[in-house]
């Protein structure tokens, strides 16, 4: 390819990150910067995917700092979701919680990511609280709600949620 623009670089970074070649994705990002190609929010989402896969918290925090510097241009729900996912995959639960609470808008993915990850990381009451904050059945995957209440021993809550689905 004679001329590589941000779209071409980001496509390659995202492609590598999504097929289990996260280290190569990070390497491509640094080559993109060396080639003086300006990155954008989509580049950061792709890079965060690689960080999450590698458990590379330091690089993920660097990306977060870059996003904060460019906040007025870059902040999107997609980017915030990628940051939350990266923090949770790297075990930085407090950072994910803080970011989630500060998000001006949340999507189904935001809620599902937080609920399922809190449950999997041994925080069932907080996952339940997050669920109750997002009471609308349609706005978060119900399977994760059942997963966290059944998987962490909250049988009574499981029965309430199951009854809710059947009767409403």
Question: pLDDT tens-digit profile of 11-21?
Answer: 999 999 999 99
pLDDT (tens digit per residue) in 34-60: 999 999 999 999 999 999 999 999 999
**Could you tell me which residues come within 8 angstroms of residue 21 by beta carbon, excluding any fewer than 6 positions away?**
none
> Using 50, 70 and 90 to split pLDDT, how confident is the model at 122?
confident
Reduce the DSSP state of residue 21 to 3 states and report it. coil
Residues 17 and 110: their CA atoms lie apart, in Å, by 20
- Sketch the domain layout of the chain as residue ranges: 1-105, 106-168
Q: Measured on CA atoms in the order 73, 76, 80, 86, is the torsion positive or negative?
A: negative
**Contact at 8 Å (CB) between 77 and 103?**
yes
């Amino acid at each position: 390819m004679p001329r590589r623009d941000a779209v071409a670089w980001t496509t390659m970074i995202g492609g590598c990150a999504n097929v289990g070649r996260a280290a190569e994705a990070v390497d491509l990002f640094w080559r993109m910067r060396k080639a003086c190609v300006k990155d954008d929010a989509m580049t950061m989402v792709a890079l965060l995917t690689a960080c999450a896969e590698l458990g590379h918290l330091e690089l993920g925090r660097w990306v977060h700092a870059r996003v904060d510097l460019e906040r007025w241009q870059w902040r999107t729900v997609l980017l915030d979701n990628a940051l939350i996912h990266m923090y949770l995959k790297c075990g930085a639960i407090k950072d994910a919680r803080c970011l989630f609470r500060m998000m001006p808008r949340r999507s189904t993915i935001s809620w599902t990511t937080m609920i399922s990850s809190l449950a999997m990381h041994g925080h069932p009451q907080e996952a339940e609280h997050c669920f109750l904050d997002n009471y609308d059945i349609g706005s978060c995957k119900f399977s994760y709600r059942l997963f966290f209440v059944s998987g962490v021993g909250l049988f009574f809550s499981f029965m309430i949620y199951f009854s809710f689905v059947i009767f409403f």
